[in-house]
């Protein structure tokens, strides 16, 4: 996974991804998606952008899972909200979204015995 550093905002980022982790690009997401059996579409990239921005605005690993989950639900409300996100990212919108976005999955978003946490 690409190293995440919130303080390197001056580093060049891929076009359309102003909050991407240093060294991340769309090809990385496509490779991860292939491994996960996901075909990326515009909504996947919107989730990626949302997660990258959230992580940048919450440096130091201070990630509030409930807040992040609620923000994604609201952002995608018109398309079905969190249910829709679980349809396009069946392993969990935060867990799989972070994998695609080059971000570390926050604690509590995955469980080998129970799948992703809602």
Q: Which of 14-23, 33-42, 102-111 has the lowest mean pLDDT?
A: 102-111
Please report whether residue 60 resides in a domain: yes
47 and 54 in contact (C-beta within 8 Å)? no
Percentage of the residues of the chain whose pLDDT score is greater than 90: 65
Structural domain span for residue 91: 42-101
Listed in sequence order, the residues at least 6 apart from 60 whose beta carbon sits closer than 8 Å to its beta carbon are: 6
Q: Could you tell me if residue 31 is inside a domain?
A: no
Domain count, the chain: 1
The pLDDT of residue 12 is 66
The average pLDDT across 67-72 equals 93
Q: Are the beta carbons of 82 and 69 closer than 8 angstroms?
A: yes
Tell me whether residue 72 is in a domain.
yes
The dihedral built from the CA positions of residue 39, 91, 19 and 75, taken in this order, carries a sign that is positive
Q: 0.85 cut: is pTM over it?
A: no
Task: Kindly indicate the confidence band of residue 114, based on its pLDDT and cuts at 50, 70 and 90.
Answer: very low
**Structural domain contains residue 64:** yes
């Amino acid at each position: 996974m690409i190293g995440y550093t919130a303080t390197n905002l001056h580093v060049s980022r891929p076009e359309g991804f102003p909050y991407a982790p240093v060294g991340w690009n769309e090809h990385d997401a496509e490779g991860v998606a292939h491994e996960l059996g996901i075909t990326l579409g515009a909504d996947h990239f919107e989730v990626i952008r949302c997660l990258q921005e959230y992580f940048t605005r919450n440096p130091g690993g201070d990630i509030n899972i409930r807040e992040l989950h609620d923000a994604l639900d609201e952002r995608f409300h018109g398309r079905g909200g969190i249910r829709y996100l679980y349809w396009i990212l069946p392993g969990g919108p935060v867990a799989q979204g972070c994998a695609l976005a080059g971000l570390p999955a926050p604690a509590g978003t995955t469980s080998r015995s129970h799948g992703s946490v809602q």
